[in-house]
């Protein structure tokens, strides 16, 4: 692979990240909307709005939440916490508040991490009315008894949940499903790395004709995937042959992947092939260690053949869900590497074709000038390899499997396949039948 375009893409991704970084996203609201509109500048994402109160499977789309400002003043009127400095300072979905409190009372609404005294934790309260502030344990420890003025200028309104969808039609109706979430405020690996890599991947996917159709979604985690599934799960169950949830791909450590529920889908098989061959030392997590939208995509009855692609997985790094998961936790190389890995998996699927020889009995190579004129000891041997490919081109094996059975390198198989297709002797059986 020529590394230069990749470096270019790395820069673009970094610029996009820097632009998306300050936005205060949540599972609904203008931050999410703004994020999707910025992505739309790069790829033609169709943005949908699903009204608050809509039933989505077992859930209900919550009221839309927006926030203008929030802070805490000490008795002297000094802003000791300012939402505008770091949007993690406010508990997500906090109700408005505007009052003086004693420190004791305030403490009930404060969140910090004793063991990470410099980190502001990320806390939300989507489904129960509450307000709160998050701060470093250091700062919290320094608070003196007295009165504090708390101000949150937020609103819960009958609005909508916003998500983005981009479908890139391929030759086949069968789909590869790609998902990333866009609902966290300023966090880097566990938020921006996913949608940014997926944006760049989508651009690349759209740049050429593809065999499969690609369905790409940018959604708020959990309620977003549930919303999307509630509208599309029947279609997805019918069409999706492999799915990938992209999450936490911004650092520069080795990859990890979270298996599907039984670890036996086509997506598992394909990503394992790539990781096994090119990324020794990668980590494979059981579905028991899931945590993102695979919880919905792979749930009983939905059962999409989907895995999660990560570098250091959510919950596996101390910076996770704190202010330390910031732009210095991630790097351009991390993002471009993840982009490269995903392309490899997609190319494997795109190229992993299933062939079926169209003749009954061996085809006659001679009349098509595919056979040496003279049948001698050595000339017979020379077409054997192609004939071996043909013998296993029975629609049951993909090229890798044929290669394993016959010992013929896949490139050589591909060249035979081209030759035979040109002669009308071989058909691609079109679509992988997911096992």
Binding stretches for its own copies (CB under 8 A): 57-60, 91, 111, 113, 121, 123-128, 130, 132, 222, 225-226, 229-230, 233, 261, 287-288, 290-291, 295-296, 298-302, 320-321, 356-357, 359-364, 366-367, 371, 373-377, 380, 387-388, 390-395, 405-407, 425
Q: Which is nearer to its own copies, 42 or 232 (CB)?
A: 232
> Nearest distance from residue 316's CB to its own copies, in Å?
12
> Which residues on adjacent β-strands are paired with residue 258?
285, 308
> Nearest distance from residue 43's CB to its own copies, in Å?
27
> Nearest distance from residue 230's CB to its own copies, in Å?
8
How many residues make up the chain in this entry? 435
Alpha carbon separation from 97 to 36, 127, 131, 331, 404 (Å, rounded): 29, 17, 7, 38, 66
Tokens of 299: 């749930």
**What's the CA gap between 114 and 135, in Å, rounded?**
11
Q: Which is nearer to its own copies, 78 or 367 (CB)?
A: 367
> Nearest distance from residue 353's CB to its own copies, in Å?
15
Secondary structure class of 385 (helix, strand, coil): helix
Q: Which is nearer to its own copies, 12 or 391 (CB)?
A: 391
**What's the CA gap between 349 and 422, in Å, rounded?**
22
Tokens of 74: 């000490």
Q: Which is nearer to its own copies, 54 or 254 (CB)?
A: 54
Q: Which is nearer to its own copies, 302 or 431 (CB)?
A: 302
Closest CA to 432 of 188, 176, 208: 176
**What's the CA gap between 163 and 54, in Å, rounded?**
14
On whether the CB atoms of residues 298 and 260 are closer than 8 A, the answer is yes
Q: Which is nearer to its own copies, 58 or 435 (CB)?
A: 58
CA atoms within 13 A on the CB side of 25: 31
> Nearest distance from residue 364's CB to its own copies, in Å?
5
> Nearest distance from residue 412's CB to its own copies, in Å?
14
> Nearest distance from residue 190's CB to its own copies, in Å?
12
Q: Which is nearer to its own copies, 32 or 393 (CB)?
A: 393
Q: Which is nearer to its own copies, 213 or 225 (CB)?
A: 225
> Nearest distance from residue 69's CB to its own copies, in Å?
22
Label each residue of 65-116 as H, E or C.
EEEEEEEEEECCCCEEEECCCCHHHECECCCCEEEEEEHHHHHCCEECCCCC
User: H/E element holding 395?
Assistant: strand 394-398
Q: Which is nearer to its own copies, 131 or 279 (CB)?
A: 131
> Nearest distance from residue 405's CB to its own copies, in Å?
8
> Nearest distance from residue 264's CB to its own copies, in Å?
13
**What's the CA gap between 213 and 335, in Å, rounded?**
24
**What's the CA gap between 229 and 209, in Å, rounded?**
27
Tokens of 291: 């945590």
Residue that is written with structure tokens 């004791």 in the block: 104
Q: Which is nearer to its own copies, 38 or 430 (CB)?
A: 430
* 277 C-beta neighbours (distance < 10 Å), count: 10
Closest CA to 164 of 106, 220, 124: 220
């Amino acid at each position: 692979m020529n590394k230069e375009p990749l470096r270019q893409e790395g820069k673009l991704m970094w610029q996009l990240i820097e632009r998306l970084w300050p936005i205060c996203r949540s599972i609904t609201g203008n931050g999410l909307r703004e994020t999707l509109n910025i992505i739309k500048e790069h790829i033609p994402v169709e943005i949908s709005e699903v009204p608050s109160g809509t039933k989505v499977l077992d859930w209900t789309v919550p009221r839309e939440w927006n926030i203008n400002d929030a802070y805490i003043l000490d008795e002297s009127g000094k802003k000791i916490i300012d939402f505008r400095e770091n949007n993690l300072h406010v508990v997500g979905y906090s109700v408005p508040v505007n009052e003086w409190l004693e420190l004791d009372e305030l403490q009930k609404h404060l969140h910090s991490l004793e063991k990470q005294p410099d980190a502001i934790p990320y806390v939300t309260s989507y489904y129960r009315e509450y307000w709160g502030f998050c701060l470093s344990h250091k700062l919290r420890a320094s608070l003196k008894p007295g009165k504090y003025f708390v101000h949150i200028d937020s609103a819960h309104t009958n609005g909508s949940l916003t998500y983005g969808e981009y479908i890139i039609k391929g030759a086949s109706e069968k789909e590869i499903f790609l998902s990333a979430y866009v609902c966290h405020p300023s966090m880097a690996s566990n938020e921006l790395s996913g949608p940014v890599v997926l944006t760049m991947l989508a651009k690349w996917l759209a740049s050429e004709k593809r065999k499969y159709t690609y369905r790409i979604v940018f959604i708020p985690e959990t309620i977003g995937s549930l919303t999307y599934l509630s509208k599309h799960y029947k279609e997805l169950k019918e069409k999706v042959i492999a799915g990938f949830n992209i999450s936490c791909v911004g650092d520069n450590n080795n990859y990890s992947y979270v298996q599907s529920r039984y670890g036996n889908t086509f997506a598992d098989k394909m990503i394992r092939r790539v990781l096994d061959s090119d990324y020794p030392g990668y980590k494979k997590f059981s579905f028991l260690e899931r945590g993102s939208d695979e919880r919905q995509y792979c749930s009983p009855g939905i059962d999409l053949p989907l895995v999660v692609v990560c570098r250091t997985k959510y919950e596996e790094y101390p910076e996770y869900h704190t202010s330390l998961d910031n732009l210095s936790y991630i790097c351009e190389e991390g993002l471009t590497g993840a982009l490269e890995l995903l392309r490899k998996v997609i190319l494997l699927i795109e190229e992993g074709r299933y062939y079926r020889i169209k003749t009954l009995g061996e085809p006659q190579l001679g009349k098509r000038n595919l056979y040496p004129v003279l049948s001698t000891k050595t000339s017979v041997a020379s077409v054997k390899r192609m004939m071996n490919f043909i013998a296993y081109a029975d629609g049951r094996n993909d090229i890798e499997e044929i290669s394993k059975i016959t010992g013929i390198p896949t490139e050589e198989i591909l060249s035979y396949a081209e030759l035979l297709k040109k002669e009308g002797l071989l058909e691609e059986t079109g679509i992988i039948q997911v096992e």
